[in-house]
Every structure is written in C-alpha cells, then in structure tokens.
Amino acid sequence: MSNILFVCLGNICRSPAAEAYFRHHVQTRGLDHAFSIDSAGTGGWHAGEPADARMRSAARKRGVHIESKSRQIASSDADADLIVVMDEANHKDVTDLPWIDASRVRCLLEFHPEASRTEVPDPYYDGAEAFDLVLDLVDTATCALLDYLEERGLD
Ligand code: 4NP
C-alpha cells in the first residue's frame, strides 16, 4: 500500500481538494486497496475544522465530496511514501521539518501534463474563479499523479 499525503498551508482549501480528487480517481480505477490517502497543513490555525465551504461547494458541483478535517503535519507523517505539496513555500516548510525525507516531497504541478504554472495558487482571499482554477489544476494533476504511480508499479 502507498501512503500519499497532500499538504498546503491551512489544509482547508488546496490539499483537501487534492486529497478528495486523488481519492476520486483512485476509486474510479478500483484501486482503493492500494492507497492510504490523507492531507495536512504546514500551519495549524484551522485544526479540527472542515474544509472551506467555498471549496467544498465548488467541488460538490463537480461531483467530488471533500470530507476531511484540517490538521497540522506531524512527525507521524514521516512514514508517508510521497508528500505532495501545492507551492514552493509548502515545499520549504515541509522539507525544513527534521523528520521529513526531502526526497519524498514533490510539488503537485510537476505531474500536470500542461500546466504553465508551477504552484497551485492559494484561493483563500479570492473569488469563485480562484476556487474553480484550483479544482481544474488539482483534477488533472492528481489524475496524472495516479498514472505515474500506476506506471511505476503499485505495491
Ligand atoms: P490552503 O489555503 O493553504 O489552500 O488551505 C489557506 C487557508 C487559510 C489560510 C491560508 C491559506 N489562512 O491564513 O488562514
């Protein structure tokens, strides 16, 4: 089983969306048995809260349900096989943690086949289009991430 952890800053917008979309693609391909999927934030301000209502609503309109509760990344996450971050600041914050193996940390958009950007932009202070852009990026990139993991061979 592969243990995949998606990480952003607050764990209420981008990484919950990535977690839900990755799980959606995994379930569509009948691969539930092969993955443990979770998300976390580098910050803990929203710990215990559900994902941002705007993010949940935008995803629900596309048939994807975001059900995670926010939590901060912890030393117990050291056993993740792959930690997928949303932007460069997340990458620095995660790889600065002493218990993290930096070789297991990747940016989500590395897997996007066409993205002209390298970071999933934080939608928190923006309008509805920003949330839709996150979902477009996350949908395509998590599908491509799953292609990559399948090609590499699942445990
Ligand atoms: P996220 O977005 O990192 O995609 O969950 C944010 C949510 C909340 C805050 C920042 C980013 N915040 O500062 O509270």
Give domain limits for the chain. 2-151
d(Cα 123, Cα 5) in Å, to the nearest integer?
Answer: 20
DSSP 102-141: GGGEEEGGGG-SS-S-SS----TTS-HHHHHHHHHHHHHH
- Calculate the alpha carbon distances from 54 to 32, 88, 105, 116 in Å: 27, 24, 28, 25
Distance between Cα 111 and ligand 1 center (Å)? 22
Global confidence as pTM: 0.98
Q: Does residue 101 sit in helix, strand or coil?
A: coil
d(Cα 114, Cα 58) in Å, to the nearest integer?
Answer: 22
pLDDT at position 112 is 98
| Atom 13 of ligand 1, nearest CA residue | 10
Fold of 2-151: Rossmann fold (3.40.50)
Distance between Cα 95 and ligand 1 center (Å)? 19
| Ligand 1 atom nearest to CA at 51 | 5
- Tokens at 72, concatenated: 């901060």
Could you read off the pLDDT of 29-47 as tens digits, one per residue? Answer: 999 999 999 999 999 999 9
pLDDT at position 44 is 98
Neighbours of 108 (CB within 10 A): 28
The verdict on whether 122 is a catalytic residue reads yes
Could you read off the pLDDT of 101-134 as tens digits, one per residue? Answer: 999 999 999 999 998 999 999 999 999 999 999 9
| Atom 11 of ligand 1, nearest CA residue | 10
Q: Which residues contact ligand 1 via a Cβ below 6 A?
A: 8-14, 45, 122, 124
d(Cα 138, Cα 81) in Å, to the nearest integer?
Answer: 20
Distance between Cα 27 and ligand 1 center (Å)? 27
